[in-house]
């Protein structure tokens, strides 16, 4: 009855864990800011509805919004509105990208551990997903050897995600250059998922944007402006890429949501202060959860420099999945690392997009559960 395409993928392991939760829980599992959108955006969406922005809009997005995004990122690359496609969240943008670029048999390199969409999207497009490792001892950045040894004549694209989900890792200039050199040498497309672009804690954002011609830059309003439920994202790419990806985008969703676009444009123009405020709070929470984890026996936390996740390695003679199940039973949501790939098996992901009180209480419960496994 069902296609091989759908039978070849499974639901995310993240959702399986969440389904175990009962009643009131401390949520250190879900990947979204625990803030409401900026007040200017909330006012704008009400205004948009009242002013009649309730009809279909341009398939590629409002011209004013595309222009504002191009202007925002013009410091990194020579781009115009023609290089921007507004999507229904970064998720739809990623899938439209894969369906536009990948033919059956094409191979796509993706990070392990990595966000749960990359492998299924490749399979849905008919491609072959090929995982490359990113390890804690390498600050969750790929090595040149690990990438090169996985490239074949069938390799078409490489997916990167920095700041990284699930690890909170960032990428340095040396590794950006290394990846770009490999892509140039092998005529690969780089798909750079940078939805946590603005959530960094030291220095300026490091991006692949403007560093390579065959690049698709994926971003979203979800994390920067706490608009996860509003489902609005965007791509920046060469004009011919936007035209072709725009075909799949049109036949999938017709157009983005007009009231949401209106509000997003307002947020870009007026709400940077709000995004900066969230990042500063995430920084304090990062410091708190790292300090609490590093004091626990059998836990080796990394020090996140971006996003709002920490990905400690569990150095106990125990299955982290069983630990997570016990923690969830005690009312704290977190995610086993194997939900993000085989390399993540000995890890657990915690989101610190939660109050300091919830982080403290959640870590107390986590540590008490670990006592059973020590």
3-state secondary structure of 12: coil
d(CA 115, CA 357): 27
Residue 349: beta bridge partners?
A: 335
Give the whole-angstrom CA distance, residue 310 versus residue 283.
12
Whole-number Å distance between alpha carbons of 10 and 339: 11
Q: Going by DSSP bridges, is the β-strand pair 128-133/107-112 parallel, antiparallel, or unpaired?
A: parallel
Tokens of 235: 């791509």
Tokens read off for 293: 């984890």
- Calpha distance 265→161 (Å, rounded): 25
- The confidence score (pLDDT) of residue 5 equals 84
Give, for all 374 residues of the chain, the pLDDT tens digit. 898 888 888 877 666 666 666 668 999 998 899 999 999 999 999 999 999 999 999 999 999 999 999 999 999 999 999 999 999 999 999 999 999 999 999 999 999 999 999 999 999 999 999 999 999 999 999 999 999 999 999 999 999 999 999 999 999 999 999 999 999 999 999 999 999 999 999 999 999 999 999 999 999 999 999 999 999 999 999 999 999 999 999 999 999 999 999 999 999 999 999 999 999 999 999 999 999 999 999 999 999 999 999 999 999 999 999 999 999 999 999 999 999 999 999 999 999 999 999 999 999 999 999 999 98
* Alpha-carbon torsion angle 344, 292, 165, 82, nearest 10: -170
- Residue 112's φ and ψ, nearest 5 degrees, are -135, 115
pLDDT at 31: 86
Contact between residue 158 and residue 109 where contact means Cβ atoms under 8 Å apart: yes
pTM of the model: 0.96
In the chain the domains, ranked by start, together with CATH numbers, are 4-37+273-370 (3.90.1150.10), 40-270 (3.40.640.10)
End-to-end CA distance of the chain: 48
Strand 155-161 and strand 335-336: the pairing is: unpaired
CA-wise closest residue to 118 among 98, 103, 101: 98
Helix (H, G, I), strand (E, B) or coil at 172: coil
User: How confident is the model at residue 7, as a pLDDT?
Assistant: 87
- Measured CA to CA, the distance from residue 296 to residue 153 in angstroms comes to 46
DSSP 306: B
What distance in Å separates the CA atoms of residue 364 and residue 374, rounded to the nearest whole number? 15
């Amino acid at each position: 009855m069902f296609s091989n395409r759908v039978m070849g993928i499974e639901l995310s392991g993240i959702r399986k864990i969440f389904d175990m939760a009962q009643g009131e829980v401390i949520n250190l599992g879900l990947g979204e800011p625990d803030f409401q959108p900026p007040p200017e955006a909330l006012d704008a969406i009400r205004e948009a509805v009242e002013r009649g922005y309730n009809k279909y809009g341009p398939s590629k997005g409002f011209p004013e919004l595309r222009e504002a995004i191009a202007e925002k990122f013009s410091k990194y690359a020579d781009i115009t509105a023609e290089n921007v496609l507004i999507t229904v969240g970064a998720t739809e943008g990623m899938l439209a990208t894969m369906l536009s670029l990948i033919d059956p048999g094409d191979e796509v390199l993706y990070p392990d551990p990595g966000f749960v969409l990359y492998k299924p999207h490749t399979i849905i497009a008919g491609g072959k997903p090929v995982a490359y490792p990113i390890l804690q001892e390498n600050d969750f950045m790929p090595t040149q050897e690990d990438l090169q040894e996985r490239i074949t004549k069938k390799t078409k694209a490489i997916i990167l995600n920095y700041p990284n989900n699930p690890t909170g890792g960032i990428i340095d200039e040396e590794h950006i250059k290394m990846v770009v050199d490999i892509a140039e040498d092998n005529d690969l497309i780089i798909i750079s998922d940078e939805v946590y672009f603005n959530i960094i804690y030291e220095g300026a954002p490091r991006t692949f944007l403007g560093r390579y011609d065959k690049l698709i830059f994926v971003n979203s309003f979800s994390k920067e402006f706490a608009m996860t439920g509003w489902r609005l994202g965007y791509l920046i790419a060469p004009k011919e890429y936007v035209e072709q990806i725009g075909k799949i985008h049109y036949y999938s969703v017709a157009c983005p949501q007009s009231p949401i676009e209106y509000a997003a444009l307002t947020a870009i123009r007026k709400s940077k202060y709000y995004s900066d405020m969230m990042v500063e709070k995430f920084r304090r929470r990062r410091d708190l959860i790292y300090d609490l984890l590093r004091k626990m026996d059998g836990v080796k936390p990394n020090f996140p420099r971006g996003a709002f996740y920490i990905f400690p390695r569990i150095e106990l003679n125990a299955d982290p999945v069983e630990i997570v199940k016990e923690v969830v039973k005690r009312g704290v949501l977190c995610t086993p690392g194997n939900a993000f790939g085989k390399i993540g098996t000995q890890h657990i992901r915690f989101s610190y997009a939660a109050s300091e009180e919830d982080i403290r209480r959640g870590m107390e419960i986590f540590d008490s559960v670990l006592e059973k496994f020590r």
